[in-house]
Amino acid sequence: MVLILLGFSLAAWLYSEHLMSRMNEEWAQQLAERQVKFDKHRTLSPIIREVGLALKMASEPALIQMALHEDQPDVVKAGIALLEQYRIDFHDHSYFAAFSKSGHYYTNDASNQYHGRELRYTLSKEKESDTWFFATLAGHKDYDINVNEDTELGVTKVWINVLIRQGSKVLGVIGTGIDISEFLNEAVDTVHPGIQNLLVTRDMAIQIHPDRELINYASAFRASEKNIRLDALFRNPADIKNIQQAMDQLEKNSNTIRMLRVDFRGEKELLGIAYLPEIQWFDLTLMNTRKLSLFHDINYLPLLLVAFFLVAVLSVWGGLSHWILGPLTRLQDAMEKIEQGNLGTSPPLVGTGEIYHLSTRFRSMFEYVRETNRALEDTVKERTTLLQSVLDNAPLAIWMVDCNGRIQFVNRTFCNETGIGEKMFLQAAHYSEVLPLAQSASYRQTDRECLADGDGVHVSSEWLTFVDGEEHLLEIIKARVVDQHGMVLGMICLGADITEQKRLEEQLLQSQKMEAIGTLVGGIAHDFNNTLAAIKGNIYLARHQMNDRLVVDAKLNFIEELADRAAEMVKQLLTFARKDMVSTRPFSLTSFMNEEFKLSRSIIPENIDYSMRLSNQELIIHGDATQLQQALINLLNNARDAVAHVHQARITCALELFSVDADFLARHPEIRGEQLAHLSVEDNGAGISPDAIGHIFEPFFTTKGVGEGTGLGLSMVYGSIQTHGGVIEVESSPGQGTVFHIYLPLTEVGELPVELEEDEALEGSGETILLVDDEVAVLNTTGEVLRGLGYHVLLASNGEEGLQTYRDHAADIDVIISDAVMPKMGGVEFAGHVRRLNPDIPVIIITGYDRDWALKTRRVEVETLLKPFSIVELSRVLHKVIHPA
């Protein structure tokens, strides 16, 4: 029996030892993982806040201006005032600012001891203590975090260095610091025995450690061999290798934690490693499992069990079950619930004596873990609330959609702009349920383009109807959102309202057109007067040779050609003055330049030798002829002014095919295609000085006198060429003249459509036409022509009279021809009234204005004829509307 009892006691002891060992191992593993997460959070929290404030401060315009213009006291005063505002917000109530241009170092601390003396000293590359500044500039990282001692100010801090940028240019470094003692207390000091926390860099240089002797000061700015590394703590090369591999894995996936067993001071300890991508450091938590053991105080339990079984033979089974196995089993059940995430109920206090002590320790540690978990959850909730507040207060519309087009998130700005609630957005299956159909289709199309784009980023301009009913133009950046496995989850979209910006751009473009038109009109008026003089001369000759029909016919034909030429001048001027951008299309640049030479000849004085060399090839581009016309006139105006005081002045335009070479690609790597259209404008004028040539394309820069130019011409030329995907270069030197080179990409298209002119008028078959025009001469002449073509004609002198005539003869009238602009009632309004009476009546609007301008106030489907028109053209338009088949 004794042997049986001893055997049973031994079995019970072994089972207890196994159970305790397993519980201890699981407990240590869970506690280690939660401790690492907690350490990661408490390390990041103070730094993330300070980094966010420092990044915001670095983008302030007042600070950027201070970095650029320290020689201006008002600018420096405004910059220091801004720095003082941020000083109050920083945790340490201190700041520093160092500028690249001057090397000046400004600072103030919590005691405000440098008030009025914020400029402390000038940084020097020769001083070792200043190497941090020049290393930070050279690194081009948005921000850097480093532990260092400021020898000039006599302080040691965790420094947060943030670059000040203006575009791609680095202007200096600003930031703040966290007192090293306070940071050590918050980040790595712990009152829990057996837990030690430290922070290291990617090359294992120790940045933060409870023992200050092991801290690597200024590790980012000195040779790595001088750094105190982890191998000063871990002597086993295998441990160092395993830590290195864990760091490699965590850099790829920073959301996980790596746990290792390492040798530390002769004992096996748990090492938890977490990556902090926000500061590019690693958080290492070292845990002594022996000191954290739940059961290290009760190793004598098996001996008590043996003694108990030897003394109490009859009660062994009941006692073992009641006092040991039962409580331990309940503890194990409680641990399994905790493993499943059930942290709502504290584990029970079971048993008596050591088992009770064990359950008490277990509950104490459980409540510590639960409180830690709650603290983490509260922090996560706080950070989530902060992030939501940042997104809602951003001056951009921000939303997220999944790959199926379903809206997953909208910020407050988007909701306020559209007047649509967040709930309605999130309940919608597609854009079409919350946005107008045309807009939703466009948004979905750009979504698909973003998902298909290899870069995963798509920029577009889209219209959005605001709460006031007005359509606003948004510049939208869409970027794919991917998870840690590379799977695309959807897109994040950011929209900025650029409606006002586009309106100002259009106003600027139109003002430039008006400036150019002022010059152009003078030349056209000269040509127009010459044309009128030729018309009057030929009328005189025709009257005096009425008996010679051939001569009269020739004179009348010539008069008709002169009238067509005058009409073409007016048409070109109207096209040039049009406010909106003409739709881009393929067209022959060769033919365009040939026509522009005729038009621009009127703005070049006759004493200037003006010539053009054109390629014998048809160079086809895809673009906006009106924009290129304006750009060419601006260049010709500048050339004309440049040669104003030159003897034997000369301006030459040229167009040729250009083959792209290596030198050209090196200068303009963004150009696509092997061949380009090369357009040049050359003059032998005064040239451009070396100081000015680098600024000629800047808005409002001009070398002309007051009142002689706005300084916008060449900037508009530059913008037009950029819009067409081309480049512009300039060659000039004082006294040697100037050449502007424009290179435009060619497009591959088939033959361009050719408009064929017909010589014969088509006659009518007795149809009735209602003709409405307020000009009596035009009304009677056109009516007589129509009667000559075989039509019956009813006349009216304005829209009101025409409407009454139509009501009286509606059954007889087959076609209406009306002038666009008339007193009492214009042609477009008149056509609208008639269409309400008869939606199918054909209407032809004739106008001497630009077509789009004439019809801009009302959308009515009509045919249009521009004055002056030929009888052949009129007859064919009539035939088209009467016989649409």
3-class DSSP state for residue 745?
strand
DSSP one-letter code for 320:
I
Nearest to 696 by CA among 709, 684, 685, 683: 709
Nearest to 283 by CA among 30, 34, 40, 28: 40
Residue 226's pLDDT is what? 59
Residue 753's pLDDT is what? 47
Contacts 24+ apart (CB under 8 A), 631-635: 631/716, 631/717, 631/720, 631/721, 631/742, 632/596, 632/600, 632/679, 632/681, 633/516, 633/519, 633/520, 633/576, 633/600, 633/603, 634/512, 634/516, 634/713, 634/714, 634/716, 634/717, 635/681, 635/717, 635/740
Burial of 134 (0-12, 13-18, 19+ CB in 10 A): middle
pLDDT, mean of residues 406-419: 85
Alpha carbon 49 to its chain centroid, in Å, reads 25
Q: Which two tokens stand for residue 416?
A: 């306020």
DSSP one-letter code for 766:
S
Instruction: Categorize the per-residue pLDDT at 32 as very low, low, confident or very high, splitting at 50, 70 and 90.
Output: low
For residue 96, the cross-strand partners are 107, 175
**What is the helix (H) or strand (E) element at residue 261, kind and residue range?**
strand 258-264
Least confident piece of the model among 85-99, 202-216, 332-346, 555-569: 555-569
Instruction: Among 162-166, 545-549, 707-711, name the most confident range.
Output: 162-166
Residue 409's pLDDT is what? 87
pLDDT exceeds cutoff 70 at 276: yes
Alpha carbon 284 to its chain centroid, in Å, reads 38
Task: Taking the CA atoms of 453, 456, 458 and 463 in sequence, report the sign of the dihedral they define.
Answer: positive
The mean predicted confidence, pLDDT, of the chain is 79
Nearest to 796 by CA among 807, 618, 273: 807
Distance (Å, whole) CA 287 – CA 294: 14
Burial of 606 (0-12, 13-18, 19+ CB in 10 A): exposed
pLDDT by residue (tens digit) across 3-17?
665 666 666 666 666
Q: Which two tokens stand for residue 632?
A: 């060419």
Positions of E strands within 513-624: 585-588, 609-613, 620-623
pLDDT, mean of residues 394-420: 85
Residue 842's pLDDT is what? 92
Residue 149's pLDDT is what? 65
pLDDT exceeds cutoff 60 at 206: yes
pLDDT by residue (tens digit) across 447-483?
888 887 767 788 888 888 887 778 888 888 888 888 8
**What whole-number percentage of the chain has pLDDT above 70?**
75
Instruction: Categorize the per-residue pLDDT at 290 as very low, low, confident or very high, splitting at 50, 70 and 90.
Output: low
Q: Are strands 813-819 and 792-796 parallel, antiparallel or unpaired?
A: unpaired
Nearest to 12 by CA among 318, 306, 355, 354: 306
Residue 677's pLDDT is what? 93
Residue 582's pLDDT is what? 45
pLDDT exceeds cutoff 80 at 616: yes
DSSP one-letter code for 580:
S
Distance (Å, whole) CA 742 – CA 620: 15
Q: How many CA atoms lie within 13 A of 599 on its CB side?
A: 27
CA dihedral (36, 37, 41, 44) in degrees, to 10, reads 60
Query: Residue 482's CB: how many other CB atoms inside 10 A?
Result: 12
Positions of E strands within 790-880: 792-796, 813-819, 843-847, 863-866
Residue 358 phi, psi dihedral angles, 5° rounding = -60, -50
pLDDT exceeds cutoff 70 at 817: yes
Q: How many CA atoms lie within 13 A of 581 on its CB side?
A: 17
Distance (Å, whole) CA 878 – CA 814: 10
pLDDT by residue (tens digit) across 309-352?
556 555 666 666 667 777 778 777 777 777 777 767 777 777 77
22-60 b/e (C-beta count within 10 Å ≥ 16 → b): ebbebbbebbbbbbbbbbbbbbbebbeebbebbbebbeb
Least confident piece of the model among 142-146, 582-586, 664-668, 860-864: 582-586
237-250 b/e (C-beta count within 10 Å ≥ 16 → b): eebbebbeebbeeb
Instruction: Categorize the per-residue pLDDT at 579 as very low, low, confident or very high, splitting at 50, 70 and 90.
Output: very low
Instruction: Categorize the per-residue pLDDT at 306 as very low, low, confident or very high, splitting at 50, 70 and 90.
Output: low
Residue 68's pLDDT is what? 92
CB 792 within 8 A of CB 769: yes
Instruction: Among 65-69, 249-253, 665-669, 750-754, name the most confident range.
Output: 65-69
Q: Which residues make Cβ contacts (< 8 Å) with residue 55, sequence separation at least 6?
A: 142, 143, 162
Q: Which residues make Cβ contacts (< 8 Å) with residue 801, sequence separation at least 6?
A: 772
What distances in angstroms separate CA 619 from CA 623, 635, 724, 745, one per listed residue?
A: 12, 21, 15, 10
Distance (Å, whole) CA 515 – CA 638: 12
Distance (Å, whole) CA 519 – CA 709: 12
Distance (Å, whole) CA 516 – CA 629: 10
Q: Which residues make Cβ contacts (< 8 Å) with residue 453, sequence separation at least 6?
A: none
Distance (Å, whole) CA 273 – CA 286: 9
Whether a cis peptide bond, with omega within 30° of 0, leads into 868 is yes
pLDDT exceeds cutoff 60 at 583: no
**Among all chains, which residue has been given the structure tokens 């959102």?**
481
3-class DSSP state for residue 697?
coil
80-100 b/e (C-beta count within 10 Å ≥ 16 → b): bebbeebbeebbbebbbbbbb
Instruction: Among 288-292, 709-713, 864-868, name the most confident range.
Output: 864-868
What distances in angstroms separate CA 537 from CA 531, 554, 870, one per listed residue?
A: 10, 13, 22
pLDDT, mean of residues 20-29: 63
Q: Rg of the chain over CA atoms, in angstroms?
A: 43
Distance (Å, whole) CA 804 – CA 663: 72
Residue 523 phi, psi dihedral angles, 5° rounding = -70, -40
Q: Which residues make Cβ contacts (< 8 Å) with residue 420, sequence separation at least 6?
A: 434
Task: Taking the CA atoms of 345, 351, 352 and 353 in sequence, report the sign of the dihedral they define.
Answer: negative
pLDDT by residue (tens digit) across 645-684?
888 899 999 999 999 998 988 888 888 788 999 999 999 9
Alpha carbon 56 to its chain centroid, in Å, reads 18
Positions of E strands within 167-248: 169-179, 195-200, 206-208
Distance (Å, whole) CA 559 – CA 538: 7
pLDDT exceeds cutoff 50 at 581: no
Instruction: Categorize the per-residue pLDDT at 182 as very low, low, confident or very high, splitting at 50, 70 and 90.
Output: low
**Among all chains, which residue has been given the structure tokens 């600012």?**
97
Greatest C-alpha distance within the chain: 157
Q: Are strands 143-150 and 407-410 parallel, antiparallel or unpaired?
A: unpaired
pLDDT exceeds cutoff 60 at 224: no
Q: Are strands 195-200 and 169-179 parallel, antiparallel or unpaired?
A: unpaired
Q: Which residue has the higher pLDDT, 793 or 41?
A: 793
Residue 387 phi, psi dihedral angles, 5° rounding = -65, -45
Q: Which residue has the higher pLDDT, 852 or 618?
A: 618
pLDDT exceeds cutoff 80 at 398: yes
Residue 707's pLDDT is what? 46
